[in-house]
C-alpha cells in the first residue's frame, strides 16, 4: 500500500487529494514543521535525503517530487483516470502544465516568500517579483477561463497540482484580480475528495508563509 509522508501545511496535501480522487487506500505518516524555522523535521531525511514533502513509499520504492509522484500513481494505479490518453492532443498540454507548476509558476511565490524576510532590503527585487506574479497568474487565469480546467473540459491531475500555486497566491493576497482562477480554486476546494484529504491530513493553511505581515 502507498504510504504518504505528509508534512503539515505543505504541497503534500495534493497527494492525499489525488489518492482520494482515485479512491485508493493509503497509509498516512504525519510530520510537523519546526515551530520557528517552519522546516521539515529531520525524520523525513531517514526516508529520503532531501527531507522534503511530498514523499511516498510503495513497498521498497521511494518517490519524491510532486509531479513524479502524480505520474507514478496515475501510471501504476490510475487506469487512465485524471489524465488524457497519450494519443490525445491534450496529452502534451497536460504534460506542460504538470512541469510548469513546480518548474515555473512557483518561482515568483518562492521569491516573494524569501524577499519578505529581507524587509526594505528586498525593494529592488519587488518590481520583478510583481511582474512575474502577474505574468504567471494571468496566464493561468486565461487558461481556466473557458472550462474551469487546465486541460480541455475535464478535471485532471494538472488541476490538483496547480491548485497549490493558486492557494499560495491567495495567501499572499495576490489572487483576487484573477476571477477565473479564484472561481476555479473555490470549485476545486468544494470537491468531496479534497474535503476528505483535508479531514485526513489535518489543519491546512498557507498563511503562515505567504500572508503579508500586518
Ligand X SMILES: N[C@@H](CCC(=O)N[C@@H](CS)C(=O)NCC(=O)O)C(=O)O
Minimum distance of ligand X from residue 69's CB (angstroms): 7
Looking at the Cβ atoms of 39 and 123, the one nearer to ligand X is 39
Binding flag, residue 7, ligand X (CB under 6 A): yes
Question: Among 165, 167, 143, 142, which residue's Cα sits nearest to residue 90?
Answer: 143
CB of 207 to ligand X, least distance (A): 14
Residues 200/26, Cβ–Cβ less than 8 Å: no
Q: Which 137-166 residues touch ligand X, going by CB under 6 A?
A: none
Residue 52 in the binding site for ligand X (CB under 6 A):
yes
- Interface with ligand X (CB under 6 A), residue total 12
Interface residue with ligand X, options 65, 71, 132, 154 (CB under 6 A):
65
Output phi, psi for 23, to 5 deg. Answer: 55, 45
Instruction: Say how far apart CA 11 and CA 106 lie, in whole Å.
Output: 11
Q: How far is the CB of 46 from ligand X (least distance, A)?
A: 14
Binder among 4, 26, 54, 201 for ligand X (CB under 6 A): 54
Q: Which of 53, 163, 167, 184 binds ligand X (CB under 6 A)?
A: 53
Q: By CB under 6 A, is residue 39 in contact with ligand X?
A: yes
Q: Pick from 56, 66, 144, 166: which binds ligand X (CB under 6 A)?
A: 66
CA distances from 177 to 32, 136, 174 (A): 33, 13, 7
Q: Is 7 helix (H, G, I), strand (E, B) or coil?
A: strand
Question: Which DSSP state fits 4?
Answer: E
Closer CB to ligand X, 95 or 183, in the complex: 95
Asked if 92 is part of the footprint of ligand X (rule: CB under 6 A), the reply reads no
What backbone phi and psi angles, to 5 degrees, belong to 147?
A: -120, -10
**Straight-line distance from the first to the last Cα atom of the chain, in angstroms, rounded to the nearest whole number:** 44
Minimum CB distance to ligand X smaller for 114 or for 142: 114
Locate all alpha helices (DSSP H) within the chain, ordered by sequence: 13-22, 66-77, 90-100, 106-115, 126-145, 157-171, 179-189, 192-201, 207-210
The nearest distance, CB 14 to ligand X, in angstroms, is: 8
Q: Which residues bind ligand X (CB under 6 A)?
A: 7, 10-11, 39-40, 51-54, 65-66, 102
Amino acid at each position: 500500500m502507498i504510504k504518504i509522508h505528509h508534512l503539515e501545511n505543505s504541497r503534500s496535501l495534493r497527494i492525499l487529494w489525488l489518492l482520494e480522487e482515485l479512491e485508493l487506500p493509503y497509509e498516512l505518516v504525519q510530520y510537523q514543521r519546526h515551530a520557528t524555522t517552519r522546516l521539515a523535521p529531520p525524520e523525513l531525511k531517514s526516508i529520503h535525503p532531501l527531507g522534503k514533502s511530498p514523499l511516498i513509499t510503495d513497498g521498497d520504492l521511494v518517490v519524491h517530487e510532486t509531479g513524479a509522484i502524480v505520474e507514478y500513481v496515475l501510471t501504476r494505479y490510475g487506469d487512465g483516470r485524471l489524465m488524457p490518453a497519450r494519443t490525445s492532443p491534450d496529452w502534451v498540454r497536460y504534460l506542460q502544465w504538470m512541469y510548469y507548476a513546480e518548474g515555473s509558476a512557483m518561482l515568483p511565490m518562492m521569491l516573494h516568500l524569501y524577499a519578505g524576510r529581507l524587509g526594505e532590503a528586498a525593494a529592488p527585487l519587488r518590481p520583478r517579483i510583481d511582474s512575474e506574479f502577474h505574468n504567471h497568474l494571468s496566464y493561468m487565469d486565461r487558461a481556466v477561463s473557458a472550462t474551469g480546467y487546465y486541460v480541455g473540459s475535464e478535471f485532471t491531475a494538472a488541476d490538483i497540482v496547480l491548485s497549490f500555486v493558486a492557494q499560495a497566491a491567495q495567501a499572499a493576497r495576490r489572487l483576487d484580480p484573477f476571477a477565473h482562477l479564484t472561481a476555479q480554486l473555490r470549485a476545486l476546494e468544494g470537491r468531496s475528495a479534497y474535503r476528505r484529504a483535508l479531514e485526513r491530513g489535518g489543519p491546512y493553511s498557507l498563511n503562515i508563509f505567504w500572508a503579508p505581515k500586518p
